[in-house]
Chains A and B, each alone.
Chain A
Amino acid sequence: MGKVSVVPFGPQHPVLPEPIHLDLVLEDEKVIEAVPSIGFVHRGLESLIVKKDYNEMVYVAERTCGICSFGHGMGYVEAVEKIMNVEIPARARYLRTIWMELSRMHSHLLWLGLLADAFGYESLFYHCWRIREQVLDMIEESTGGRVIFSVNKVGGVMKDIDAQMLGRFVEKLGDVEEQICAIRKNFLGDRTVQMRLCGVGVLTKKQAHDLGCAGPFGRASGIATDMRIRGYGAYADLDFEPIIRTDGDSYARCACRIDELLQSIDLIRQAAAKIPAGDLSVPVKGNPDGEYFMRIEQPRGEAVYYVKGSGKPYLNRLRIRTPTFANLAGLCETLKGADYADVPILVLTIDPCISCTER
């Protein structure tokens, strides 16, 4: 047995701009245990629910995260709508789905860039973000914001994507698809990348299930967990299957996310073909009275929104469980037995969003 030492990782680390601290217990070069500690950027978002009325809270909820902001707004709004028994127009459901998928694309492309940077492919990192920029342009053109969309409200959406704009987006996504297929070869076919990712940080299906892993992290271990099949938004009308890999290593997680990018493009195409005409929102009267537990699929995995109201404009409780929170346990398990040099890549493969987790 070698000498055991503890090495701190973070809260400031070059691979990750967000603050997570891990105490890595090392035996020679092998990690035998990782102890996480979070709480560096807690903002008390959930306590604001007693100070802001339920309409104002939409803007607070979507600022939970800077990358998956649209999903947070959508999850909260759909929970409130369920409590108030509001049936939103079909067009609003489709628009939310399109924006959600654009949001997933920009999140996954951002993550692919960070991964490329972590294993030392800087030009590939720039290339991923160049592709992402085209998605951001579409988001900005349709919503007015690059990462904070602010288009959701209780009862529907506030902005429309007309047929002309949607046609343009679908056409542009064809180009984006070609570019993604090109980088797919670089990520999945390159021998150096395979050497860095294959067999690194393996999490078996049973481990992933026991630790409650969510999103692409769980799907790469063979768990068919995708909240979109529950059919919220317009997902019930669209044809898709969760993308699953069974290897459970870092390579599988990368492959899972790249394939989800192509799946998102396909979903947007389907939604654009089926989107019905009609109103964008319905008027909402009264205050939410009751509670609801909304589960949606964020780019990083399943997010949970618990909302409770008592017939007043101010809600009693908002609880958000973000996917990274669910995946931290899985991360600590994958780190056990890993090489010290692989720790940054393994931390990245869960696509951590620490500010999101701390709310």
Chain B
Amino acid sequence: MSTILNFTGTLLKNLVSKPVTKNYPEEPAVYPERSRGHIVIDVDQCISCGLCVRSCPPRCIKVDKNEGTWTINRFDCIACGYCASKCPKKCLSLVPGYQKPGRSKAAVTYKKSAEVMEAERKKAEEMAQRKAAAVKAAGEKKAAAQTGGQAAGAAAQVQAAQAQAAAPVKAPSENQ
């Protein structure tokens, strides 16, 4: 008998209390701060290293370094956050808000801005030039050492000394 009355109490309480459910979508859902909804990228910070591509369990991320793009198939993403934890530049983050449904599993591509691409291109060129210079210097040094070993002439020794003197001048530029 007591259990019947107990249940009746719950029933009466339910009749007068507000509904526990929300009238979604009229009333927007409130997500907690830590909610793992979807991944966002600050694409201009991205260095296209590809660590996120290799770490992603469902393999839903693609990175194209030449095009400067970062592509994600959000329908395959499991929002685990492993890519965000691996990112060396911390440009990936998980934010609240779930993926909206769609008719096809379309991937979304994010492209770096023109300025960032231009700056990166310049930097890459500069790096290539430095590398070429370093290779050239190393080649000269090697050639000079060989000539120095073969010919015992004073002129060759002078040349070798010059090459050796030139090398330390170029070496710091590599570090810059």
Contacts and interface: CB of A to CB of B under 8 A. Distances in A.
Interface of A: 52, 55-56, 59-60, 63, 123, 127, 130, 133, 140-145, 148, 150, 158-159, 182, 185-186, 189-191
- The A interface is mostly helix, strand or loop, or mixed, namely helix
20 contacts: A55-B55, A59-B78, A59-B80, A60-B57, A130-B20, A133-B20, A140-B31, A140-B35, A141-B34, A142-B34, A143-B34, A144-B35, A144-B94, A145-B35, A145-B36, A148-B80, A150-B80, A158-B85, A185-B2, A185-B3
A189 B85 contact: no
B3 A144 contact: no
A63 B78 contact: yes
B7 interface: yes
Contacts of B81: 144, 150
Given A140-B32, A143-B34, A182-B10, A56 B57 contact: yes
Contacts of A150: 36, 79-81
B6 interface: yes
Contacts of B79: 145, 150
Given A60-B57, A140-B32, A144-B34, A186 B6 contact: yes
Contact of A56 (B7, B35, B55, B94): B55
Interface of B: 2-3, 6-7, 10-11, 20, 31-32, 34-36, 55, 57, 78-82, 85, 94
Contacts of A185: 2-3, 6
Contacts of B10: 127, 182
B156 to A, nearest CB: 51
A111 B103 CA distance: 34
Given A158-B85, A190-B3, A141 B57 contact: no
Contacts of A63: 78
Contacts of B78: 59, 63, 148
Given A141-B34, A145-B79, A186-B6, 7 more contacts: A56-B55, A133-B20, A140-B34, A144-B35, A144-B81, A150-B80, A191-B3
Contacts of A123: 11
Contacts of B82: 55-56, 59
Contacts of A145: 35-36, 79
Contacts of B57: 52, 56, 59-60
B86 to A, nearest CB: 9
A134 to B, nearest CB: 9
Contacts of B80: 59, 148, 150
Nearest to A193: B3
A144 B6 contact: no
Contacts of B3: 185-186, 189-191
Nearest to A127: B10
A144 B32 contact: yes
B2 A189 contact: yes
Contacts of A60: 57
In this complex, the member of A56, A123, A144, A158 whose beta carbon has the largest number of chain B beta carbons within 10 angstroms is A144
Given A59-B57, A63-B78, A182 B34 contact: no
B36 A144 contact: yes
A150 B77 CA distance: 14
Contacts of A59: 57, 78, 80, 82
Nearest to B11: A123
A102 B34 CA distance: 17
A186 B7 contact: yes
List 8 tightest A-B contacts by C-beta distance, closest first.
A144-B34, A144-B36, A141-B32, A59-B80, A189-B3, A190-B3, A59-B57, A150-B80
B69 to A, nearest CB: 24
A148 B81 CA distance: 12
